[in-house]
Structure 1
Amino acid sequence: MEFGVLGGLSLTDGGGRHLPTAPKQRQLLGLLLLHANQVMPTHTCVAEIWGGHPPLSAATTLQTYVMHVRRLLARLPSVASRAAARARLRTVGQGYLMVVGPGELDLLRFENLVERAGRAPAGDDAAVAGLLRGALALWHRPVLADVRTGPVLQSAVTHWERRRLEVHEAYLDARLRLGCHREVLPELAVLTRGHPTHEPLHARYMTALYQVGRVGDALDTATRLTQRLVQDLGVAPGPVVRRLQSVIRDGGSMPVPALAVPGRRPA
């Protein structure tokens, strides 16, 4: 059995794809999977599905949604019984717990690869880049792209999208330290367009452009960033970008900083 949340919601078992068709049941399943192996209190589930104005029957209706998800699980080849379905989706006190193995959910596989990158020997940038590339390859679209999201899910989706960007930055740092400046330019171009006021991404883009001899483009990138920061946030670039501009103008050397890999334990 395989669950997916890094893109659309998915549930694959025995070669077939199985999902609830009702939007609120999909919403509940997405919530439980994004918090797999954690107890989600009933009141949190109610807040997610109905927001701040739940009906008087919300708790009872939620139990019905849980029942439907369990029936779906019970029909899967690898579950095949109501008892096994209840062991998968458990009632724990005043809440629900979705039990998922480490290899069954793409989100857990993503985190496992990031943690392994964090344990790689210091300086082994090829290993770090390979592991983080594998982690990023698990993402196909934004988290739960085809699921309606309420306040709880939206907060979780925002968290994981930030986590994805953090890991992508660490991957690019490893590639830059390996000297792959030209190869990462297309990714950095896309990322800086999508995050026009994100200074660390622009610093990486400036670094890569400068290292391949595109001095004018590197300075233009700094100029565009400055304009957006002033226009959107009313602030000037920080010291890192200003320092890079000086190095580029002076034609100096630009070592790639050994930034932290997400999940790496301090030495």
Structure 2
Amino acid sequence: MAAVEFRVLGPVGVTVDAEPQRLRPMEATVLAVLLADQNRPITLDALIDRVWRGQPPRTAATAIRVHIDRLRAAMRRQDVSRLVAAAGGYRLVVEPGELDAQRFEDALRRGRDVAARDPLTAGTLLRGALAEWRGTPFGAIEGIESIAVTRSYLESRRAELLVELAEVELASGRHAAAIADLRRWCAEYPESEALASCLVIALYRSGDQVAALDECRAFTDRFSTDYGLDAGRAFRRLENDLLNQHPRLDPPRPLAVPVPSAPIGRQELVDAITRLLAAARPPALIALGGRPGIGVSTVLNHLGQALPGAVRLPPGAAAVTGLADALGVTLTGRSTGDRATALAAELCRPGRVLIVDDVDGLAPDTVDLLLALARFPAVCPFVTGGRSRPLADHRLLSDGWIAATDCVALEVQPLDDGAARALVASLVSGTNPGREALVEKVVASAGGDPFLLAALAREAEATGSWVDAPASLDEFVRRSLAGLPDGSVELLALAAS
């Protein structure tokens, strides 16, 4: 089925499989009227009245049907499943995520939800919402009340978004980087005290108190001249705060976020990776390798939680869309190249790190996207996990955009006896009378393999006795499967196929 995307945050349009469709002016008007009442039926008479602004020609009914047929053809959906005949007229079916205005509202809502606890993520989401805009809603289409009402609503929501975005940028400590955007937004909304306040504060926090005072006084004078009103009390207080260098204008203190402890026995490895990423020129790729069960995924999970700018590529078929959601990027209707460009804009931000687990099991389209991302010079480092293999065989080095000389391969080693004892002891109850002997038996049997250590410890804790240790992780898995009820193994095999 073709991927359809509708656009109203700018000139009205429709794309199919990322390809913009050519629409005649009247077809664009019909589409605009239908989109203003998306998923609701519009009678033929109402549609005619709106399209021709109350002055339809005698052939209007025939003309509407012609335009509807052309719109269906443009969407490559000749059946009636997209433009439904309903209530003596038509209903345009718009699925979730297909309309840019819907995606804008969704990203705005998600950004607001996290703004108080995570302004950096909120900023990413809100910038994603702003990126949906390409101009005046519905373009140059005028004189249609339903479109005028929707346009007014959308423009008010955009004004709200800009204030929210300005505030989270300040809360994230990005005051200097936000100044250029704030100047542009203030010129667009010269009556907005909230945006003017954010610009003044950004200038002050960037060390330019004179410019902040000038901007503050210029807004007060302009507001009085243009509207015959005094600025609000909060804005008037802002000037006094500037003159007195009041502490409430200082940047907020960074939130104290507890850093999770490294997995048992992995602190040295985590420290080595952290140092590599903190270097003036970090590697393009850090490849963690190891045998199954050795704990590669555990280390990557920890890095995803401990590194402030880390973003994890979700597992499975939804990897790319999950990454886009985490970054606040919309991919609907975009080609692989356009998807990479949109994601790279967020992955080029300072401090970003992309965590990719099980690189050997990635779907081909996910690998293609990662290879496309690697072509952007400023894209963040990748930290990947997979089986041990020569670096030259790494899937992300296949097209030469990442050079082997710009990569570091790290082997995840078995735990030493001290770390192995600590891991097992953390899983065996302190009330177990044979605890010390049990710990030693598990450590002696598992060969420093964290997965097997944990599995044997939990098995012994659950049964209250020691079962002869398997010779390998594979044998342990076979033994565990053998204990399942009849038919369970076949069901698991079917689910995995």
TM-score w.r.t. structure 1 length? 0.81
In the alignment, which residue of structure 2 is the partner of 1:48? 50
In the alignment, which residue of structure 1 is the partner of 2:209? 215
Q: Measure how far apart 1:44 and its partner are.
A: 4.7
SS in 2 for 1:104: coil
Counterpart pick for 1:225 among 211, 214, 219:
219
Give the whole-Å Cα distance in 2 for the aligned partners of 1:26 and 1:151.
13
The question of whether the paired residues in 1 share the 8 Å contact of 2:203 and 2:211 is answered with: yes
In the alignment, which residue of structure 1 is the partner of 2:399? none
Structure with greater contact order relative to length (CA < 8 Å, sep ≥ 6): 1
Give the whole-Å Cα distance in 1 for the aligned partners of 2:115 and 2:130.
20
Q: Measure how far apart 1:45 and its partner are.
A: 3.2
Give the whole-Å Cα distance in 2 for the aligned partners of 1:105 and 1:141.
15
Structure 2, unaligned runs of 5 or more: 253-497
Counterpart pick for 2:110 among 116, 130, 147:
116
- Provide Cα deviations, 1:59-80, integer angstroms capped at 9, x if missing partner: 554344334323433xx2xx3x
- State whether structure 2 residue 28 is matched by structure 1 residue 19: no
Task: Go from structure 1 to structure 2 and tell me whether the alpha carbon gap of 1:97 and 1:118 turns closer, same or farther (over 3 Å shift).
Answer: farther
Sequence identity (%): 29
Give the whole-Å Cα distance in 1 for the aligned partners of 2:238 and 2:41.
47
Task: Go from structure 1 to structure 2 and tell me whether the alpha carbon gap of 1:42 and 1:238 turns closer, same or farther (over 3 Å shift).
Answer: farther
Give the whole-Å Cα distance in 2 for the aligned partners of 1:40 and 1:243.
51
- State whether structure 2 residue 200 is matched by structure 1 residue 206: yes
Task: Go from structure 1 to structure 2 and tell me whether the alpha carbon gap of 1:204 and 1:8 turns closer, same or farther (over 3 Å shift).
Answer: same
- Provide Cα deviations, 1:168-212, integer angstroms capped at 9, x if missing partner: 211111111111111110011111122222211111111111112
Give the whole-Å Cα distance in 1 for the aligned partners of 2:185 and 2:234.
18
The question of whether the paired residues in 1 share the 8 Å contact of 2:182 and 2:195 is answered with: yes
- Provide Cα deviations, 1:81-104, integer angstroms capped at 9, x if missing partner: x32xx2211132144321122232
- In structure 1, what residue type is equivalent to 2:183? A
Give the whole-Å Cα distance in 2 for the aligned partners of 1:110 and 1:204.
22
Counterpart pick for 2:141 among 130, 143, 148:
148
More divergent stretch after superposition (243-252 vs 93-102)? 93-102
More divergent stretch after superposition (167-176 vs 120-129)? 120-129
Counterpart pick for 1:135 among 92, 106, 129:
129
Point out the structure with max Rg over C-alpha.
Answer: 2
In the alignment, which residue of structure 2 is the partner of 1:103? 97
Structure 1, unaligned runs of 5 or more: 258-267
In the alignment, which residue of structure 2 is the partner of 1:240? 234
More divergent stretch after superposition (34-43 vs 12-21)? 34-43
Give the whole-Å Cα distance in 1 for the aligned partners of 2:51 and 2:72.
18
Give the whole-Å Cα distance in 2 for the aligned partners of 1:42 and 1:254.
59
TM-score w.r.t. structure 2 length? 0.46
Q: How many residues align?
A: 247
Task: Go from structure 1 to structure 2 and tell me whether the alpha carbon gap of 1:34 and 1:232 turns closer, same or farther (over 3 Å shift).
Answer: same
- State whether structure 2 residue 62 is matched by structure 1 residue 68: no
Q: Measure how far apart 1:120 and its partner are.
A: 2.7
The question of whether the paired residues in 1 share the 8 Å contact of 2:182 and 2:199 is answered with: yes
RMSD: 2.5
The question of whether the paired residues in 2 share the 8 Å contact of 1:19 and 1:26 is answered with: no
Give the whole-Å Cα distance in 1 for the aligned partners of 2:96 and 2:87.
24
SS in 2 for 1:11: strand
Q: Measure how far apart 1:3 and its partner are.
A: 2.1
Task: Go from structure 1 to structure 2 and tell me whether the alpha carbon gap of 1:193 and 1:119 turns closer, same or farther (over 3 Å shift).
Answer: closer
